[in-house]
Amino acid sequence: MSTIDEIASIYQASPTPNLILKPDAPKFTVLAVNDAFLSATQTTRSSLIGKSVFNAFPTDSASNFDIKNLHQAFDEVLKLKKPHKVKNYKYILVDAKLKSLGLRYWRIDTFPLLDQKGDVEFVVQTLEDITYVKLAEERTKLAQQRDFDLFNFSPVPMWAFDINTLRILAANDAAQMEYGYTLSEFLHLTVKSLRPAADVPAMMEVIESKIKPGLYNKETVRHITKSGKIIDVVIESKPLPSWGMDVRIIVALDITAKKRLADLESLEKKVLELSSTSQVLVEEVLSYYVKGIESLFPQMHCAIMQVKYGRLYNWVSISLPTAYTAHIEGLLIGDRAGSCGTAAFLQERIIVTDIKNDIRWLEYREMALKSNLLACWSEPIINSSGEVMATFAIYYNEVMQPDEQELKVITRASSLLKVILESRQNADALKETTVLMAQAQQLAHFGNWSWDLQDNTVSWSDTLFNIYGVKKEEFNATFEGYLSLVHRKDQELVSKKIQSVISTHEDAEFEERIIRPGGEVRYLRSWAKLKFKNGKAVKMIGACLDITESKKIQKKLLSSESRLRSLVDAQTNYVIRTDLDGNYTYYNKKYREDFGWLYGENDFLGYSSMNSVSAHSYKPAMEVARLCIQNPNKVYQIEIDKPHKKGGTRSTLWHFIVLTDSDGNPSEIQCIGVDITERKKAEDAIKQHNVQLKEIAWAQTHLVRAPLARILALVDLLKEPEPGMPANPEVLHYLHLSASELDEVIRRIIDKSFI
């Protein structure tokens, strides 16, 4: 059996701090300590020997909280008689005045010294100061914690994964928020889970070529979130040695909005280029655009509906069910006509987040729900005239509210569609107008031209080349080339006209003759006008109308009119025309010769025809004129007395008729007359003769064989009756005769009486 001194001397030589305790639980009295222990704990032997190990050391009870580990060590040593290790004993050294001397970490081995009977005779504790090791570990841990904090609090999604198993080992908060997975869910995923199936083969090639060799990698890829949404990200990855040689960290920057914006701009550019190609139908342009949008936003189903006569017609819908589009074909717009019908009717954006419960879809929801269309947003496409041309709609297979990016897509799409549809609308109208203009120019033999004053180049329309009879490739497209085609007798006049336009800036209109290559002369009516830029004349534009045929017709008409006028002037009848107020618009030579003296003018067109009518014929003439105007194209006959140049009256017989214009309205009064003065005299003579014959017959009946006394009595009776006495009825028949005529009657009667 060893004494305490022998045992103490053995441990005294040890460089490891130790102390020997008496197994007098629960006190465990300190029996011996070596110098190494005293140095390590900065205590004295006298302050420790004979005291309980639990109160032999100055202590700050608030800081030294690991004392229970010592109790557990002693209990197990006494009970099991086996060594016990305390791997990490935290202790704050203090001096006699309880002044802290610093935090210390110890590894304490407690083991029993047994006597010959196997009982615990002494308890030995050896201490290893691991403060520096522990502090280094804590510093490492703190650094790791800081790294983790930086990793976890980064606004950019980050995760670490094993390059062999591809299993995700960690994911920061940003990754959890962006992708929708919890940390626990992330730890059950592999990096393949974040890629669309179609992209996995390409990812595995990169893992083999760059990831496993430990190379830095940066690329743009597609990721899938927990909700199934596909996002575009730029990922950077590199090894993470502090986590292990097979661990790699990934940083993923979401560029979906940026990439989609760039892709959308690229799509819009291609669509505009396609739309500018006149050979491409508008339906092809719209289909290309809708396909492009749906490829950028796979969750969208887009449709463009044309609005015609207050109804909707399917224009383009790539991914919508045909049964649904057929159901809404010809839909009448209104304030409860779904999203598109309402948008077209109200001319405003309509957002329906839940088709099933929106009153605007009441009559159409059944087919929409059967087609799994649960939300629909529609924007009217309105042209500059305020007319709704179409609607642009976005459908979703889930109830949802549009986010800012989706609203921007709607706005951009509607703006672009307005440009496309309105430009096509205008282009179609322009094309139609151009065709009509070309046809009109051909039919009317009307062509236009322009002359660039800066470089002296002339351009003609196709019709103008046809008028001149020259080919484009043979035409000297300059002013001099044009002038050379003008008739040589008109060249100076045309040149002066053109120069006058340039100098005075006033438009010009003139006639010119041109000579076609075959020698044919044609007549043109031409117009010229200047165009200005920054106040300077830069171009002259104009047009030419081929009036050759009208010139020929005009010559024929003039010739015909001349012959007709000669014919009319050769007539002995009077021919005149007046306006509806009776003013001359035409008269022939015969009329001018007989009545021109009344006006004292060589030309009396515009004068009133009523000035040539005698006073007693004025009223009947006006009445006939009125009847003519009331009954166009009906002939009225009237006798009118007119003054004779030699005195007296010229009797005339007229036929009046009112002529009408192309609309059937009265325009002129045509009058054809004849001088009946001599006929009137003859008629009067005949009338007088008839009267005389009647008188003779009467006389023969009543006076023949009358005695002379009776004849003389008759003569007396024929004398002026006395005042107050009535005339004899037998002689009333003769009262209208003049004295000479009465004498002739009496003479004849007397002659017959004596026969």
**Cis omega before residue 17 (within 30°)?**
no
Q: Output the 3-class SS for 412-456.
A: HHHHHHHHHHHHHHHHHHHHHHHHHHHHHHHHHCEEEEEEECCCC
What pLDDT, on a 0 to 100 scale, did the predictor assign at position 397? 92
Q: Looking at the structure, tell me whether residues 691 and 660 fall in a common domain.
A: no
Residue 180 has pLDDT above 90, yes or no: yes
Q: Please give the DSSP secondary-structure letter assigned to residue 208.
A: I
- Please give the structure tokens belonging to residue 329: 């074909």
Residue 693: strand, helix, or coil: helix
- Decide if 561 is inside a domain: no
- Decide if 260 is inside a domain: no
Spatial distance between the Cα atoms of 252 and 293, rounded to a whole number of angstroms: 25
> Rounded to the nearest 5 degrees, what angle is found at the Cα of 522, between the Cα atoms of 520 and 527?
150
Least confident of 44-53, 283-292, 469-478, 722-731: 722-731
Higher pLDDT, residue 13 or 641: 641
Domain end position, chosen among 71, 105, 136: 136
Q: Looking at the structure, tell me whether residues 521 and 658 fall in a common domain.
A: no
Residue 280: give its domain's CATH number.
3.30.450.40
Residue 413 has pLDDT above 80, yes or no: yes
pLDDT digits (tens, 9 = 90+) for 30-64: 999 988 888 887 888 888 898 888 777 655 544 45
**Mean of the pLDDT values across residues 655-661?**
89
Residue 710 has pLDDT above 60, yes or no: no
Q: Looking at the structure, tell me whether residues 200 and 301 fall in a common domain.
A: no
- Decide if 711 is inside a domain: yes
Domain end position, chosen among 136, 165, 185: 136
- Decide if 145 is inside a domain: no
Phi, psi for residue 459 in degrees, rounded to 5: -125, 140
Higher pLDDT, residue 543 or 707: 543
**Pair 448, 426: CB distance under 8 Å:** no
Considering its fold, how many domains does the chain have in total? 6
pLDDT digits (tens, 9 = 90+) for 612-639: 899 898 999 999 999 999 998 899 999 9
Q: Looking at the structure, tell me whether residues 334 and 463 fall in a common domain.
A: no
Residue 426 has pLDDT above 80, yes or no: no
- Nearest Cα residue to 294 out of 323, 272, 316, 324: 316
Task: Enter the pTM of the model.
Answer: 0.43
Query: Is the alpha carbon torsion for 350, 354, 360, 361 positive or negative?
Result: positive
Q: Looking at the structure, tell me whether residues 632 and 708 fall in a common domain.
A: no
Spatial distance between the Cα atoms of 41 and 33, rounded to a whole number of angstroms: 11
Q: Looking at the structure, tell me whether residues 280 and 412 fall in a common domain.
A: yes
- Other residues' Cβ atoms within 10 Å of the Cβ of residue 414: 18
- Decide if 143 is inside a domain: no
Residue 113: give its domain's CATH number.
3.30.450.20
Domain end position, chosen among 227, 254, 281: 254
Q: Looking at the structure, tell me whether residues 330 and 419 fall in a common domain.
A: yes
Residue 754: pLDDT band (50, 70, 90) is very low
CA dihedral 208, 211, 216, 217 (to 10 degrees): 70
Q: Domain span at residue 274?
A: 265-424
What pLDDT, on a 0 to 100 scale, did the predictor assign at position 209? 94
Residue 409: pLDDT band (50, 70, 90) is confident
Q: Looking at the structure, tell me whether residues 270 and 386 fall in a common domain.
A: yes
Question: What's the mean pLDDT when you consider all of the chain?
Answer: 82
- Decide if 558 is inside a domain: no
Burial of 347 (0-12, 13-18, 19+ CB in 10 A): exposed
| 529-547 CB burial, b ≥16 within 10 A, e <16 | ebeeeeeeeeebebbbbbb
- Nearest Cα residue to 513 out of 542, 483, 558: 483
Q: Looking at the structure, tell me whether residues 390 and 419 fall in a common domain.
A: yes
At a CB cut-off of 8 Å and minimum separation 6, what does 489 contact? Answer: 513
What pLDDT, on a 0 to 100 scale, did the predictor assign at position 579? 92
Q: Looking at the structure, tell me whether residues 215 and 297 fall in a common domain.
A: no
Q: Looking at the structure, tell me whether residues 600 and 539 fall in a common domain.
A: no
Least confident of 170-184, 423-437, 484-498, 728-742: 728-742
**Pair 646, 677: CB distance under 8 Å:** no
Q: Looking at the structure, tell me whether residues 686 and 671 fall in a common domain.
A: no
Q: How far is CA 641 from CA 575, 577, 612, 657, in A?
A: 16, 18, 9, 19
- Please give the structure tokens belonging to residue 287: 């289909």
- Please give the structure tokens belonging to residue 89: 């004993």
What pLDDT, on a 0 to 100 scale, did the predictor assign at position 430? 52
Q: Please give the DSSP secondary-structure letter assigned to residue 25.
A: T
- Please give the structure tokens belonging to residue 569: 């002037």
